[in-house]
Structure 1
Amino acid sequence: MNGGQRNAVELALTPTLTWLWGPPGTGKTTTVSAIVAKLCGRGKRVLLAAPTNAALDVAVQSLLKRMPELANGALVRLGQPADQSLADRAEGRVLIDEIAAERGAPLAKHRVEVSGRLRELRRTLDALKPHQGRLTLEQETTRLRAETEIAALQAVVRELDKSLRDVRRQICREATVVAATAHQVVLETLKEISFDLVVLDEASMTSAALAMLVAGAGRGHTVIAGDFRQLPPVVVADTPAAQEWLRRSPFEKAGIATAVSEGRTPPRLAALTEQYRMRRRIGHIVSTAFYPESPLMTARSVARRPVRSRAPWASAQLVVVDTSGMKARTARRQGAFSRYNLMHAQLAAALVSGVSEQARDIALISPFAPQARLLESLLPEAHLDEWAASTVHRFQGGERDIVVYDTVDSGRGVSRLHRWFTEGDTGSEGARLLNVAASRARDHLVVVGALDRLHPPGSTRDPVWTFFAHLLDQATSLPWEHVPAFSRGVTERVTSGIDERLRDDIGRAATVDMWLPGSPVRGLIDLLPALREIRHDDPESEAVTVWVEPEADGHVPTEAMYARREGVNVRPCLPILESCAVIGDVVWSAGESLLGPYPGVVLRTEHRAFADAVRRMQRRRSGMAPGSGRLGDECGRCRRMLVRYEQTRTGQPDVRYECPACDRTILSSASRRRRT
């Protein structure tokens, strides 16, 4: 342990409240385990809590590494772990029901058997997840059977848990260390059981209200550990009380975060400053942007650490792919929800497909869940265990050798940048999110983003602005034009012969979905012969669907009307943020309208799982009237096609279908009646 960690341990031995500030990679969990070990050695009983199962398991593993002798019933882990290596440990049981089963409780033995079966079934579902959308009949049957059995076993678990309550309480009374999530602390099992020391790890992710309840399980000796510069608790409610007690962590509620920002040193705060995770350049940019009051130092051992993972595009510790010149479009999942950027995902496909076996440890992360799902579809099955694709929120606490951070927002399509990029003050969610994303990287951090929008000149020097300023100054630039060359043909930039290539792909496809913003869409006429050749056996859906933006008078473009008369399912939508086509296993995207006279940058990606994921992301109503085999969504008065209007107001989707002629007339008449 370094000097800062030893000082933190000594401070925490005093039987009062201690605050432990552990920025990324500084060994906070190691320090927590040392504190618990010291107090256990003095005969104290300890409650170890964390907000999530994953965070709790990390703390438990660290403690077992320091004190393996606890794994004989002295350390009890409540609930089901996220880390399955804690189950059925040969070195000694730690899960409460396994301990009860060893002591001869028959109900506990049955509970352990049921838990084991549930783990098997969940592994089965996890193995099928990469094939979602293209399961064979046998695989679909397996999935349904697994889900049905899981539901039945969960009901059994609930009944067993009721019967096992007294057994579990007795085991907890006899334990030296009880490990539980923050919410488990307030449940029946630990009711009226008191502890000499309460340690709440990852407290920055815990609400102030819940932290107070956890601390109440002790006699006053409490250690609150976390990093208030990382992500705060997730809260849906926006009432003043929710913002005060649920949105704020104990660090904010107690004034610790404010004091640090103002340059004051709070009493009983131990700050760790030596980090062991990030290479020097990555650590420096994270420290400069997010920890100016308590700068991070990179341990000497980091420079001596061998590089485990290599990729041809990760040539430096910091790499930036500036997509400003692509004019990539940001869209919304199903037209109304969270954001994704198809072109950015296609660049990620190029990066992932271009690595060799030397890239053993990679993470693709994004602030937006739809983009994370697209990135997840790109992971090769051979690397599902070592590689990861996730939102930043889900990946807090994780780390990888190589991290690719896709910012998604480009200012085109969805024109307004998310507040994560525009409100970057110290303590803002945007600054915390960017801090977490960057600090997950051990050896290489690759940032993909439209820097002309994310880092405009003349902005205030908040942490987000500072991060991007240092990134542009210190990172190696990888031009986006060079990225497709790494992909071994998976992603390519198409600069000529677009119509011919589209026709070739359509000729091999069973389904086609197109999203064409603006007018005209001249290329659609040239594709009609190929589109007419597609045959589809499902009477409830269309093999070909073309979404177009209506013109100012509400009519669809002339080329689209002609295609509709030729039997193509043309659907008007306003606005259309995407510019793309999903043709079988191939995804096309463009900066401007794909079939317009000037499509801009055009990318083509051939990847079955990715194409399936894009279809799910963009799925709207099919346009078929159920059971009729005929196109639906026509105006009942004038037979004109209804237009799908997609808007998002204050974060809530607003989707409606209207006739641009009749509904406008009705609204106008109603308005005149109100005036009279």
Structure 2
Amino acid sequence: MTNTVSYIKEWQQALQNEIFFLKKFGSSKYKVINGRLLSSDGTYPYYFDTTLPLKIPVGSSITLVWGGFKQQGRTLSSEGKGIIVQLEQSLGDLIPEAFIYHDPWELLEQLIERLDEIKKSKQKRVRVNRLMNPSMPAKHPEEKIKNNVHEVVLRSKYNPVTFVWGPPGTGKTYTLARVAANKYFQEKSVLILSHSNQAVDVLITEISAFIKKKARFREGDVLRYGFNTAVAEDTQEALTTSQLLLKQEPSLVEDKDNLIEERKNLKQDLADSFSKRDSNQLLELEKKIAKVLEKIRQKEIEFVKEAFIVGSTLAKAASDPAIYGKEFDVVILDEASMAYVPQVAFAATLGKRVIICGDFKQLPPIASSRDSLVNKWLKEDIFHQSGVVDWVESGKLHPHLFLLKEQRRMHPDISAFTNKYIYHSLVGDHVSVLNSRNEIVEHGPFPGRAAILLDTSYMGAFCLNEKTSNSRINLWQLLISFQLIHESYLGGSRSIGFVTPYRAQANLMDILLQELYEQERSSSDIVSATVHRFQGSERDVMVFDTVDSDPQERAGMLLTGKESERLINVAITRTKGKFIHVCNLSFFRKHAFNRKTIRQLAEHQEKHQQSVRTKDIGMWIKNHLPRLQWIHALQLDKVFNDLKHAHSSIVISLPPHMVLTDQWKSAIVNRNQSTELTIISEMSWPELQPDNYWQEEGYTFPFIIIDLQILWLGLPLDRGKGIQPPFIAARLESEKVCEYLFGQLIT
């Protein structure tokens, strides 16, 4: 058994290795312009304009890069579209354009400091040891258990460490909120922690609502502590420090608001004209604001001391002595499976009892370095590292693990796969979930069906690696998925998610939604994101685009690698009523083993008659957008008309297997003579009389881009190898997608 000091030394080294990696290869890069030196008294503060508000905390370390110069510095102010940074040396009076690099490694440095403090405290070391080696016998009286909430209350009363396994939709928030309220009714102090602001907000809101329902709410007893909180500002009772300040110290808030407004106006003046007097005035304002903020800070510390239930992020807890300097009766850590093990250990030292809640079947923590200690301690969760998962894999539940067994989120046709293949039949459906999701199921597309496998097999070889990032995109599945979103919206759904393993595909869908669906999004909740970004969210309808298809020679590691089961689990379990899996089944049958989760999902859907084939495309596409139309291969007039009316450029991709009819050749050759023709092909096409040849390899599907405005994909001329009828083309009017394809894939 590893002793606690050895654990801490390894954790600190892992954190140092991650910090080193972030400092060397950090990726958070922000463009800043119009830099002006505000003072040359030895501190070198610069004011920059920014195109977007930068959320860089005051005091954070930054690196400023200007041409061949690189300077370290810190942020003095980051408000609105302007930032003031203090550099170590002067780079002159004016900096027209530069880049600021910021990665939050200070948070890791602060965690290293907290671990140093744990080393010196015997009590804290004992708490860490209990967390990492939970071998002590369970002492809670099982005969007294009344329900789930009561069991967690009893466990956390009699045992120092309680693990709660909360699969998606099993009432984790409901349970934890009532456990926290129960402790509060006993006048115990409770610290609510999570890695994300959203999770803390949700729990604090639920706790306060339950306490109010019991008519036992006292203002100031429940406190959401920290910034970036989305706890409702319109509640009658104050839950955040800013709400309490507004009620108890309105003049202090007014002073702060007035000074910030004055600074905003002065920054506008600076943008229009620049003078030494203005810069001195701005620096003086920053000093005044700093003084007011310090007064506010002292009041906030008082609020934390007086509160019984405090909610905060793990990062805030490790950096703020108001939290880490206080002892709590119970610590509740939510979404623990996404937190670094050293973060969880730090959290466990803050209270006499700790409840660790999460789902080790969802995505693990994220770290950047490939160092072995980072892999061990920052890329795997506490459930695995404490041995809890070993018990589950041997077919038993650990004595200190409590499982929430009934899911209430997904329609049973969706949860059938995850219940069986991911949770090995340990989780079932609550009786209410069928009726509660039927309304969503009845919406189009595919009314009456909750789970659909939309099979894109034999439609073409559309999957490419984006040249700039190497992330995968699939334009055909992108347009199919967009059509599914459109059909869902017109079918009555207003909560729709598009999720994919690949960032490039998610970004491209976001571009498409912004350009073609801006009005619809303004009145509904339609989101495109990677699976990692979707964890913790849910939507009525989810479109899961797996992207992978020919001509790729293997399936991506995101879908077949070590963590693929977790990723696919998250993608499915975000769904309430309709799960649409866009997938090239023939590709995965060739490139994924039977035991891989993605193959099991596709085969499960096939077995349960959830498949929709290529030949059925005309049956479910009911509503064409003016700017996205699906056209049968026999309808050649539209593409010929577009070619005829092109006025500046035509770009045509012709893969090696292409055969052009005389009609096609004539339409291309007889184009407007002022229109420049570019052919992308490994073959030579002199009969088309192109202005440019691009000898490109790897473009395995044909497309036409006309005037950088219109994209024809899956052209009527494409009846190549591996493609089966019906032969369908998509016509998309999208300047941004055409620019993307032209810029990212061709140049």
What TM-score does the superposition give when structure 2 sets the normalisation length? 0.68
Q: 1:319 aligns with which of 452, 460, 464?
A: 452
1:619 aligns with 2:743: yes
Deviation at 1:12, TM superposition (A): 2.7
Amino acid at match of 2:554: R
1:409 aligns with 2:548: yes
Matched position secondary structure for 1:387? strand
Q: 1:527 aligns with which of 668, 672, 678?
A: 668
Q: 1:284 aligns with which of 416, 431, 437?
A: 416
Matched position secondary structure for 2:439? coil
Tell me which residue corresponds to 1:308. Answer: 439
**RMSD of aligned residue pairs (Cα, Å):** 3.7
Deviation at 1:244, TM superposition (A): 0.9
How far does the alpha carbon of each residue in 1:1-54 deviate from its partner, in whole angstroms, 9 at most, with x for none? 994444234323335110000111100111111111111111111111111122
Measure the CA separation in 2 of the matches of 1:304 and 1:267.
Answer: 35
Amino acid at match of 1:442: K
Measure the CA separation in 2 of the matches of 1:587 and 1:72.
Answer: 59
Q: 2:696 aligns with which of 573, 584, 595?
A: 573
Deviation at 1:533, TM superposition (A): 3.8
Matched position secondary structure for 2:416? helix
Deviation at 1:191, TM superposition (A): 3.9
Q: Say if 1:117 and 1:81 are closer, same or farther in 2 by CA, change over 3 A.
A: farther
Deviation at 1:455, TM superposition (A): 3.8
Give the alignment of 1:149-168 within 5 angstroms: 159=290, 164-168=296-300
Measure the CA separation in 2 of the matches of 1:500 and 1:509.
Answer: 16
Measure the CA separation in 2 of the matches of 1:324 and 1:595.
Answer: 14
Amino acid at match of 2:555: L
Q: 1:43 aligns with which of 169, 187, 196?
A: 187
Q: Is the 8 A contact 1:492 1:605 kept in 2?
A: yes
Q: Is the 8 A contact 1:331 1:339 kept in 2?
A: yes
Deviation at 1:497, TM superposition (A): 5.2
Measure the CA separation in 1 of the matches of 2:409 and 2:609.
Answer: 19
Give the alignment of 1:171-250 within 5 angstroms: 171-188=303-320, 189-216=322-349, 218-250=350-382
Measure the CA separation in 2 of the matches of 1:117 and 1:530.
Answer: 61
Give the alignment of 1:25-104 within 5 angstroms: 25-68=169-212, 70=217, 72-81=219-228, 83=230, 86-104=231-249
Q: Say if 1:3 and 1:507 are closer, same or farther in 2 by CA, change over 3 A.
A: farther
Deviation at 1:316, TM superposition (A): 1.1
Q: Please list every run of 5 or more consecutive structure 1 residues that lacks an aligned counterpart in the other structure.
A: 119-151, 535-543, 552-556, 624-676
Measure the CA separation in 1 of the matches of 2:647 and 2:480.
Answer: 23
Tell me which residue corresponds to 1:421. Answer: 559
Using the aligned pairs only, state the percent identity: 22
Deviation at 1:461, TM superposition (A): 2.9
Amino acid at match of 2:577: D
1:479 aligns with 2:633: no
Q: Say if 1:622 and 1:397 are closer, same or farther in 2 by CA, change over 3 A.
A: closer
- With 582-591 and 312-321 compared, the bigger mean Cα shift is at 582-591
Q: Say if 1:200 and 1:515 are closer, same or farther in 2 by CA, change over 3 A.
A: farther
Q: Is the 8 A contact 1:350 1:487 kept in 2?
A: no
1:492 aligns with 2:623: no
Deviation at 1:256, TM superposition (A): 1.3
Q: Say if 1:157 and 1:502 are closer, same or farther in 2 by CA, change over 3 A.
A: farther
Deviation at 1:407, TM superposition (A): 0.9
Deviation at 1:338, TM superposition (A): 0.8
Measure the CA separation in 1 of the matches of 2:739 and 2:733.
Answer: 11
Matched position secondary structure for 1:325? coil
Q: Say if 1:622 and 1:491 are closer, same or farther in 2 by CA, change over 3 A.
A: closer
Amino acid at match of 1:386: D
Deviation at 1:268, TM superposition (A): 0.9
Tell me which residue corresponds to 1:360. Answer: 494
Q: Say if 1:597 and 1:269 are closer, same or farther in 2 by CA, change over 3 A.
A: closer
Q: Please list every run of 5 or more consecutive structure 2 residues that lacks an aligned counterpart in the other structure.
A: 1-144, 264-282
Deviation at 1:271, TM superposition (A): 0.4
Q: Say if 1:237 and 1:157 are closer, same or farther in 2 by CA, change over 3 A.
A: farther
Amino acid at match of 1:504: D
Amino acid at match of 2:306: E
Q: Say if 1:197 and 1:5 are closer, same or farther in 2 by CA, change over 3 A.
A: closer
Q: 1:439 aligns with which of 573, 598, 601?
A: 573
Matched position secondary structure for 1:44? coil
Q: Is the 8 A contact 1:204 1:250 kept in 2?
A: yes
Q: Say if 1:608 and 1:114 are closer, same or farther in 2 by CA, change over 3 A.
A: farther
Tell me which residue corresponds to 1:667. Answer: none
Measure the CA separation in 1 of the matches of 2:601 and 2:533.
Answer: 22
Q: Say if 1:219 and 1:353 are closer, same or farther in 2 by CA, change over 3 A.
A: closer
1:391 aligns with 2:536: no
Deviation at 1:395, TM superposition (A): 1.2
Measure the CA separation in 1 of the matches of 2:648 and 2:711.
Answer: 14
Matched position secondary structure for 2:690? helix
Measure the CA separation in 2 of the matches of 1:457 and 1:599.
Answer: 18
Q: Say if 1:347 and 1:495 are closer, same or farther in 2 by CA, change over 3 A.
A: same
Q: Say if 1:477 and 1:620 are closer, same or farther in 2 by CA, change over 3 A.
A: closer
Measure the CA separation in 2 of the matches of 1:166 and 1:506.
Answer: 72
Amino acid at match of 2:239: V
Matched position secondary structure for 1:327? coil
- Number of residue pairs matched by the alignment: 561
Matched position secondary structure for 1:447? strand
Deviation at 1:511, TM superposition (A): 5.9
Q: 2:464 aligns with which of 331, 338, 353?
A: 331
Matched position secondary structure for 1:64? helix
Matched position secondary structure for 1:307? helix
The one of the two structures with greater contact order (alpha-carbon pairs below 8 A, sep at least 6) is: 1
Amino acid at match of 1:573: E
Q: 1:469 aligns with which of 603, 606, 609?
A: 603
Amino acid at match of 1:12: S
Q: Is the 8 A contact 2:646 2:671 kept in 1?
A: no
How far does the alpha carbon of each residue in 1:588-646 deviate from its partner, in whole angstroms, 9 at most, with x for none? 2238996989997765445545x5245335524997xxxxxxxxxxxxxxxxxxxxxxx
What TM-score does the superposition give when structure 1 sets the normalisation length? 0.74
